[in-house]
Amino acid sequence: MNFCHPKGHLFVPDNSPPADALQRVTHLGIVAHPDDLEFMGWHPILQCLHSPPFRFAGVIASDGRSSPRAGIYAHYGDDEMAELRLSEQRHAAVTGEYVAIASLMYEETGPVMGGQNSSSLVADIGQMIRLSRPSVVVTHNLCDRHPHHIVVVLATIEALRHLGPDYYPKEFYGGEVWRSLDWMNPSDRLTFDVSEHQNLTAALMGIFDSQITGGKRYDQATAGRKRANATYSDPHTTDQSSALEYAMDLLPLLANPSQEPVEYASQLIEHFLQDVRRRLLSGGKA
C-alpha cells in the first residue's frame, strides 16, 4: 500500500498479503494517536474478539512523538518516542487480534495534524475505507477537546462523503477520550456494554507503558470512566453492567451530506440545553 507520508505503512500481524487482510475487515477504528483505539474502542475490539466473521483493524494518523514523558522515558527524544509508540501499537494489534494497523505517521507538530492541510489524511483514510469496506467505522466524537481528534473525525467524515454511499458503513460513531459524553441526552447517544473481558482491555491499555509510566494514568482513568458510566447511567435501577462506553452517532452526517459537522454537534448541545432548562423550569418534576 502507498500512503501519502513516506513513513506510512501497514502492519499485518499474521503476515498475510495486505489486500487479503483488508478484505477481512468488518470494523475499522480511525484515530489520532497510538493508544486511542485501546482507550476509546473497547466495544468494536470486543465485538471482533474470537467472533468470526467480525474482524477489527485500525488507522493511526499521527506518530505520537509529542506525548508527555517522565520516569524511565524522560530522556527519550521525539524520534525515539515515535518508534516506541509504534512498537506498542503493534504489540496491541497482536494482543487484540487485529487484522491490520495502518500507521500514517504524520508528525504531531506538523501541518496535517495541525489542521492546516488535511487532503493527504483524507486520501489515506479514504484508501483504507475503500479497500476494507467496513460495516462499522469508529472514530473520535465532534465534541472532543483534543485538536488532533477533531482533525481526524473531520477527515473521516470528508473521506466517507467523497467515497459516496456505496462505501458508507452501517454504523458510524465517535467515542470518548478527551471529553466524556455523559452530558448527552440518553436518547441522543449510543451506549455499549463493555463489561466482558476486562482482563483483556486492561492488558491492551497496559501495553502503552510509555504513556502510563511516562506520566499519565490513562488506564485507571479510562476504566474509571466506563465504570462511572455504568453506575450513573440510570438513577432508578441497580447496576446492569460494570462498564459502559458512550458514543456519538455520526451516521446522520452521511445520511445528510450537506449538513455541516458543527451544525450537527450544535444540535446535540441544544438538546442537552433544552433538557436542563426543562428540568429547572419544572422544579425537578419528571
- For 148-185, give the DSSP string: HHHHHHHHHHHHHHHH-GGG--SEEEEE-BSB--TTS-
pLDDT at position 284 over 90: no
* CA atoms within a 13 Å half-sphere pointing along the CA-CB vector of 174: 31
- How does residue 142 score in pLDDT terms, banded at 50, 70 and 90? very high
Nearest by Cα to 34 from 70, 88, 83, 99:
88
Nearest by Cα to 4 from 172, 115, 119:
119
Distance of CA 211 to the CA centre of its chain: 17
72-103 pLDDT, tens digit per residue, is 999 999 999 999 999 999 999 999 999 999 99
215-261 pLDDT, tens digit per residue, is 799 999 999 999 999 999 999 999 999 999 999 999 999 999 999 99
pLDDT at position 152 over 90: yes
- How does residue 106 score in pLDDT terms, banded at 50, 70 and 90? very high
Element containing residue 92 per DSSP (H, E) = helix 78-95
pLDDT at position 126 over 80: yes
Residue 37: partners with Cβ closer than 8 Å, 6 or more residues away: 29, 31, 45, 58, 60, 92
| pLDDT at site 93 | 98
Percent of the chain scoring above 90 in pLDDT: 93
**Rounded mean pLDDT of the chain?**
96
200-209 pLDDT, tens digit per residue, is 999 999 999 9
| pLDDT at site 77 | 95
| pLDDT at site 201 | 97
CB count within 10 Å of CB 125 equals 28
**Helix or strand or coil: residue 97?**
coil
Residue 69: partners with Cβ closer than 8 Å, 6 or more residues away: 76, 81, 210, 214, 215
Residue with cell 465485538: 47
Cell, residue 8 = 506510512
Domain ranges of the chain: 9-260
| pLDDT at site 117 | 87
pLDDT at position 269 over 80: yes
19-57 pLDDT, tens digit per residue, is 999 999 999 999 999 999 999 999 999 999 988 899 999
Contact (Cβ atoms closer than 8 angstroms) between residue 176 and residue 192: no
Section 95-122 average pLDDT: 96
| pLDDT at site 178 | 96
* CA atoms within a 13 Å half-sphere pointing along the CA-CB vector of 81: 23
**Helix or strand or coil: residue 18?**
helix
| pLDDT at site 285 | 80
| pLDDT at site 70 | 87
Residue 202: partners with Cβ closer than 8 Å, 6 or more residues away: 219, 223
- How does residue 123 score in pLDDT terms, banded at 50, 70 and 90? very high
pLDDT at position 286 over 80: no
pLDDT at position 197 over 80: yes
**Helix or strand or coil: residue 90?**
helix
pLDDT at position 157 over 90: yes
| CATH entry, 9-260, from 2.60.40.3080, 3.40.50.2000, 3.40.50.10320, 3.90.79.10 | 3.40.50.10320
What phi, psi does 47 have (nearest 5°)?
-60, -35
